[in-house]
Structure 1
Amino acid sequence: MSKPRKPKGRPISGWLILDKPVDFGSTEAVSKIKWLFNAQKAGHAGTLDPLASGMLPIALGDATKTVPYVMDGRKIYEFAVTWGEERSTDDLEGEVVATSDSRPTEQAIRDLLPNYTGRISQIPPQFSAIKIAGERAYDLARDGETVEIPSREVEIFRLTLLGATTDKAHFEVECGKGTYVRALARDFGRDLGCRGHVSDLRRTFVAPFAEDKMVPLADLVALETIEDRDERLAALDAYLIDTAEALSNLPHLPVTDDQAHRLKMGNPVILRGRDAPVAEQDVYATARGKLIAIGEIEQGEFRPKRVFI
């Protein structure tokens, strides 16, 4: 019997909050970071289009187990909409599919925003990662097919007009999971009768990571000049955020060393004491400040769903 292959790379774990540059795909960014850090595993929490810049949280090693909890978090984008043209991709990359000589007034734009605040129905762009009959919508669109993408409900917590000129308006939006900013621009243009597309897009926040945690890709690439491998990797590792920080929006359960051992074996632990929680859907447990498990509390018992070695 052949021996199992030893995973390539280092078994490091943590989050890197990358400031992704324009014209750099999310998958390409993850591959670059995985290579720079010589990490065994890597993944991102929320795709950014190549033409978009800003926050792309990248999980390394065991931190990939926490990706779903970051994907569900609120996000903030700053974006510009250029009026007069609707494009096939709803951004600068696509072909012009409709035009208008009309231009909205600033007041007309402000009057429109309440219609896009709260829970709204949105049809994702034709060029999106939505699956239609098992295929990505953007693959079908590139083949020249026009597909019917069903609308879905998304949540807009805050939508602000930052400024406007005759041909362009700048916005900031705080939104929930699954919101397409490109679709907002498209629908703004249609409702205002002037057509429109996103001409600039930057993500500044992905809960729970703040904007000041972002690291420019150029800063990381610059460390390649350090010849000593251990010194170079140590300099890179200094940018990593502890895995548990991705879970800071969840309830926290400190456990003892004995309980931590049981949890690592996949076993539940009984929570004792008058103030012990009785029921909770998602909780993360730590021992001595180290992340041990994510699980649920039911009938006064913590049951691990994901364990961290």
Structure 2
Amino acid sequence: MTVRKSWRRVDGVLLLDKPTGMTSNSALQAARRLFSAAKGGHTGTLDPLASGLLPLCFGAATKFAVDLLAADKTYEADLLFGVMTDTGDADGSVVERREVAFVASELEAALARFRGPIRQIPPMYSALKRDGKPLYELARQGIEVEREARAVTVHELRLLGFSGDRCRLRVTCSKGTYIRSLAEDLGRALDCGAHLTALRRVAVGDLAVAQAVTLDDLAALSEAVRERCWLLPPDTLLQSLPAVTLDEESATRFANGNPVGGGVAPGKCRVYGLGRLLGLGEVDDQGRVQPRRVIGSA
């Protein structure tokens, strides 16, 4: 007889070290089962090829997932020059091979072209949609459509290693940057082509993969130990914002969706009161804290 899973309310953030070969949603569902979490979401997709930091939100923390989606991300990427694939990474089929004839100084010069604000054409093998259909579905049908270049920012692009036709890069970039496209563009700049052979996300905003845990390590623990040792509070995603603590009357008003006084400098803030995190607020020019995302009481 099949035993039905008993879901429960779980509020918090899990920093997961996603393995390669697994989709982000599969990793999320596996973690949800381990915590018996009724509600969960992730904060930015990692391709199956990629490993590394995948922050997961359960319960109340899902209200703040969108804020982490906009955070800068840091990757370590392995590239193979002279070989191009239809997907821009090692999961695709080889479509062209070229001779690799550049030297390290030429690679460094090419990297300089991709630092700072750049425009990047998203890959066909992506989840972006055209007329309601993901581009990757069209790509699998052999259909290629024109994509508009998008403005992104590469804050750091550092060469970690280079040998023959391979290199490793460290990239810190803004939301919406495709590392596969960056690899292809770099190969194009060097007139030999390239594709991504491995990708590991090492940071999302202020969160680092060194703080993360694997699914295998979680599975080896009891549910109680998992929650005590690895589940972080919902305000983990808001630590870069100033904190505002309200008195009981103002806290009750804020929790009911009303603006209150007591703000600091204008901008977003994390709001506390009634002995707990109340949610995300935004201080206006009059010093009022406007509710933006409010956590309901348990």
Which TM-score bucket, shorter chain as reference? over 0.9
Gaps of 5+ in 1: 1-7, 224-231
Partner Cα distance (1:93, 1:211) in 2: 24
Match of 1:23 in 2: 21
Tell me if the contact between 2:159 and 2:169 (Cα under 8 Å) persists in the aligned partners. yes
Describe how 1:1-309 pairs up with structure 2 within 5 A: 9-223=7-221, 232-238=222-228, 239-271=230-262, 276-277=263-264, 279-280=266-267, 282-287=268-273, 290-298=276-284, 299-309=286-296
Tell me if the contact between 1:30 and 1:58 (Cα under 8 Å) persists in the aligned partners. yes
Structure 1 residue ranges, 4+ long, deviating more than 4 angstroms after superposition: none
Which whole-Å deviations, capped at 9, do the CAs of 1:101-126 have from their partners, x for residues lacking one?
A: 12321111101111111110001111
RMSD: 1.6
Which whole-Å deviations, capped at 9, do the CAs of 1:77-104 have from their partners, x for residues lacking one?
A: 0011001111111000111122201232
- Give 1:217 shift: 1.4
SS where residue 187 of structure 2 aligns? helix
Counterpart residue type for residue 139 of structure 2: A
Partner Cα distance (1:279, 1:172) in 2: 34
Tell me if the contact between 2:264 and 2:283 (Cα under 8 Å) persists in the aligned partners. yes
TM-score by length of 2: 0.93
- Give 1:277 shift: 2.9
Partner Cα distance (1:195, 1:278) in 2: 49
Aligned residues: 290
Tell me if the contact between 2:28 and 2:56 (Cα under 8 Å) persists in the aligned partners. yes
- Give 1:235 shift: 1.1
SS where residue 210 of structure 2 aligns? helix
Counterpart residue type for residue 227 of structure 2: D
Identity value in percent: 38
Partner Cα distance (1:60, 1:270) in 2: 30
- Give 1:287 shift: 2.4
- Give 1:222 shift: 1.9
Tell me if the contact between 1:74 and 1:207 (Cα under 8 Å) persists in the aligned partners. yes
Counterpart residue type for residue 286 of structure 1: Y
Partner Cα distance (2:38, 2:17) in 1: 22
Partner Cα distance (1:211, 1:290) in 2: 27
Which whole-Å deviations, capped at 9, do the CAs of 1:5-63 have from their partners, x for residues lacking one?
A: xxx62111111000000101101001111111111111000100001100000001110
Tell me if the contact between 1:83 and 1:103 (Cα under 8 Å) persists in the aligned partners. no
